[in-house]
């Protein structure tokens, strides 16, 4: 090599490092360096990430030459057309002691560059035995790979520069998540598998897709449902996007992007594994080990959560942590700044529909959970359809008309319901159990119009159509009441024979289905109930006996069908008038009237 050429191939610090995947380095070691020189092939990249070796299995080789085959250029074109990458250059082995490109290497690459005017440059990678020099990449224990870029200048002239290399741990990170990425193929294998990329599954190459005008490697995640990771060329500084979907019969899968948080300064491997689990919907082994002895296996249960605010979001989180596998969430609101003080949401959720934010939170806990979302008012939701397959309803809305509508539908469908609401300033709250199979009273008989519960609730905000006005309250006070509701919900899901369900047998048997929980000492009538009990503080609870009214249109002797979605917004008014009419025309029955002590 001449002195002039030697000066040309000195490392140029102005050129960014050439990024190659660890899988490509392993492929070079196994396919090229493992046999005597020379051996070679083409390199393909996605963006600035070189990830694929196409071995020239049709070439003629000698100890000092690589006669590039015509088939190599044709196969590169086929792979590019199939969407598996773009030509980035070549890699080949040299005899020991010749770590840089020869004049023939440079001339051949220059010719290829002239035939590809859309490319700004091509890589010449040379593999030899020996200790890596500065900027060389180690290839196995005994080889090194020097990297050179033949690039086209503004004047159209080409120049050669030696560049630094950087190995990206993509294959190792994917392998730790149970994913294999193919980093090499050959002309023979490609053609045997079928031209145009119809490769056998075990030889399937990663496909390049464009997201936001950026090419990414689409890597399939092993899963019964369609799932993939879209790898950014700047990985691991920029994280992948996880996608998942459902395969419909005779149709292509509809893929949906998942929340894909990424910390560029944290280790990439556990983050990528978490995204892979989310895409595949795999539950973390052992995550419910400390809950199932008390509640049993709940993965097959679906819970409808109506109202995903401070109460509903907290109950849903408790349920998913205990193993509940499916949710239907109904809420028309967006997450707002005041929600951060007492819900499960974070700052990144502000402005996001609550069903979407809650789904993201639940999937972060259990990637296998299924969440159906309805960002609509209950009165405009097809509740008959939404309740299909539901085992339990959690009612936590702040609109009593909607609460009554939902409770009516649930009772008519024979679905148990747990309703939870807070009183003024969260000084106390209520939990209602409505279990049609146990012939308990319905929600309206327990806490509807005309019951003492009505006077403890916050005022109504008539500007919002009858919803309860927001009250200042501390998160722990709300959570105390919500936790009682969550415990009851788990007990109903687990059944009366379970440890979690056993305490409910007495309550349901005695029809004590209205729990009033005080979050501070000395609340209202609790001062009388707990008088003289100086050891009492907070929280405190009283469970009231509630008998179903024989005339109730929901749980009485002659129930009426629940209102449909169109008429649903009027149900509370109708029942309110019905109940008030009964109260005005008939004397109270002390055996059936709901009374606080």
| DSSP per position, 303-354 | EEEE--STTHHHHHHHHHHTT--EEEEE--PBP-GGGGGTSS--GGGTTSBH
Q: Does residue 347 sit in the same domain as residue 422?
A: yes
pLDDT of residue 212: 82
**Inside any domain, residue 552:** yes
Residue carrying structure tokens 């300033």 = 425
Q: Does residue 364 sit in the same domain as residue 467?
A: yes
**Inside any domain, residue 242:** yes
Q: If DSSP codes are grouped into helix, strand and coil, which group holds residue 185?
A: strand
**Inside any domain, residue 500:** no
**Inside any domain, residue 178:** no
Q: Does residue 301 sit in the same domain as residue 431?
A: yes
Q: Does residue 214 sit in the same domain as residue 67?
A: no
Question: Domain boundary at 152, 171, 190, which?
Answer: 171
d(CA 518, CA 456): 12
Q: Does residue 18 sit in the same domain as residue 143?
A: yes
Question: Domain boundary at 171, 194, 228, which?
Answer: 171
pLDDT of residue 253: 56
Hey, which residues does 542 pair with through a beta bridge? 516
**Inside any domain, residue 177:** no
Read off φ and ψ for residue 314, nearest 5 degrees: -70, -45
Q: Does residue 217 sit in the same domain as residue 298?
A: no
Q: Does residue 391 sit in the same domain as residue 326?
A: yes
In terms of Cβ atoms closer than 10 Å to its own Cβ (0-12, 13-18, 19+), residue 568 is: buried
pLDDT of residue 581: 53
pLDDT of residue 15: 72
Q: Does residue 566 sit in the same domain as residue 471?
A: yes
Output the six-digit token pair for 580: 């008030």
**Inside any domain, residue 197:** no
Q: Does residue 165 sit in the same domain as residue 251?
A: no
**Inside any domain, residue 11:** yes
Q: Does residue 333 sit in the same domain as residue 219?
A: no
Q: Does residue 228 sit in the same domain as residue 366?
A: no
Cβ pair 543, 530 in contact under 8 A:
no
Q: Does residue 158 sit in the same domain as residue 252?
A: no
**Inside any domain, residue 528:** no
Cβ pair 121, 90 in contact under 8 A:
no
Residue carrying structure tokens 């773009």 = 86
CATH number of the domain enclosing 347: 3.40.50.720
Q: Are strands 184-186 and 370-374 parallel, antiparallel or unpaired?
A: unpaired
pLDDT of residue 574: 53
Low-confidence residues of the chain, pLDDT below 70? Answer: 1-14, 195-203, 246-254, 460-469, 564-597
Q: Please provide the distance, in angstroms rounded to a whole number, between the alpha carbons at the two ends of the chain.
A: 101
pLDDT of residue 12: 60
Output the six-digit token pair for 227: 């799932």
CATH number of the domain enclosing 25: 3.40.140.10
Q: How many domains does the chain have?
A: 3
Can you give the residue range of the structural domain that contains 87?
3-171
Cβ pair 469, 423 in contact under 8 A:
no
- List all residues 6 or more positions away from 424 whose beta carbon is below 8 Å from its beta carbon: 456, 457, 458, 471
pLDDT of residue 257: 85
pTM of the predicted model, to two decimals? 0.74
């Amino acid at each position: 090599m001449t002195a002039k050429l030697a000066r040309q191939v000195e490392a140029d610090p102005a050129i960014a490092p050439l990024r190659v995947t660890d899988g490509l380095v392993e492929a070079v070691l196994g396919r090229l360096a493992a046999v005597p020189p020379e051996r070679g092939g083409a390199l393909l990249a996605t963006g600035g990430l070189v990830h694929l070796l196409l071995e020239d299995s049709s070439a003629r080789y000698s100890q000092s030459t690589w006669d590039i085959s015509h088939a190599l250029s044709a196969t590169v074109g086929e792979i590019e057309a199939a969407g598996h990458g773009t030509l980035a250059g070549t890699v080949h082995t040299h005899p020991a002691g010749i770590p840089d490109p020869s004049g023939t290497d440079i001339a051949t690459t220059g010719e290829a560059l002239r035939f590809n005017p859309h490319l700004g440059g091509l890589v010449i990678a040379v593999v030899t035995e020996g200790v890596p020099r500065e900027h060389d990449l180690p290839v196995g224990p005994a080889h090194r790979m020097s990297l050179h870029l033949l690039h086209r200048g503004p004047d159209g002239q080409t120049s050669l520069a030696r560049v630094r290399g950087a190995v990206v741990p993509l294959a190792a990170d994917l392998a730790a998540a149970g994913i294999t990425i193919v980093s090499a193929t050959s002309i023979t294998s490609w053609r045997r598998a079928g031209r145009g990329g119809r490769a056998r599954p075990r030889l399937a190459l990663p496909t390049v897709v464009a997201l936001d005008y950026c090419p990414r490697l689409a890597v399939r995640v092993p899963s019964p449902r369609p799932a993939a990771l879209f790898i950014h060329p700047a990985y691991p500084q920029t994280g992948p996007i996880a996608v998942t979907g459902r395969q419909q019969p005779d149709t292509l899968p509809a893929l949906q992007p998942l929340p894909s948080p990424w910390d560029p300064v944290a280790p990439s491997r556990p983050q990528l594994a978490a995204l892979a689990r989310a895409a595949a919907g795999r539950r973390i082994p052992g995550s419910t080990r400390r809950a199932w002895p008390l509640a049993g296996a709940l993965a097959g249960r679906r819970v409808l959560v109506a109202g995903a605010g401070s109460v509903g979001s907290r109950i849903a989180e408790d349920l998913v942590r205990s193993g509940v596998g499916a949710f239907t969430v109904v809420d028309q609101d967006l997450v707002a700044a005041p929600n951060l003080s007492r819900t499960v949401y974070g700052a990144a959720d502000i402005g996001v529909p609550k069903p979407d934010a809650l789904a993201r939170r639940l999937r972060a806990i259990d990637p296998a959970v299924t969440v159906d979302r309805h960002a609509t008012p209950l009165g405009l939701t097809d509740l008959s359809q939404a309740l299909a397959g539901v085992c339990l309803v959690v009612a936590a809305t702040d609109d009593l008309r909607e609460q009554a509508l939902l409770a009516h539908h649930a009772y008519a469908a024979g679905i148990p319901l747990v309703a939870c609401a807070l009183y003024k300033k969260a000084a106390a709250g209520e939990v209602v159990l409505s279990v049609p199979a146990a012939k308990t009273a319905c929600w309206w008989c327990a806490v509807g119009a005309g019951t003492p519960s009505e006077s403890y609730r916050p005022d109504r905000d008539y500007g919002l159509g009858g919803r309860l006005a927001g009250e200042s309250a501390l998160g722990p006070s709300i959570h105390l009441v919500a936790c009682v509701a969550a415990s009851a919900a788990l007990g109903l899901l687990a059944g009366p024979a379970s440890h979690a369900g056993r305490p409910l047998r007495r309550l349901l048997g005695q029809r004590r289905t209205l729990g009033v929980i005080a979050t501070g000492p000395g609340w209202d009538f609790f001062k009388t109930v707990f008088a003289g009990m100086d050891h009492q503080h907070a929280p405190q609870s009283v469970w009231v006996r509630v008998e179903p009214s024989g005339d109730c249109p929901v749980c009485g002797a002659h129930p009426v069908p629940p209102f449909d979605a169109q008429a649903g917004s009027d149900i509370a008014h109708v029942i309110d008038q019905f109940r008030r009419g009964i109260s005005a025309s008939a004397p109270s029955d002390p055996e059936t009237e709901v009374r606080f002590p």
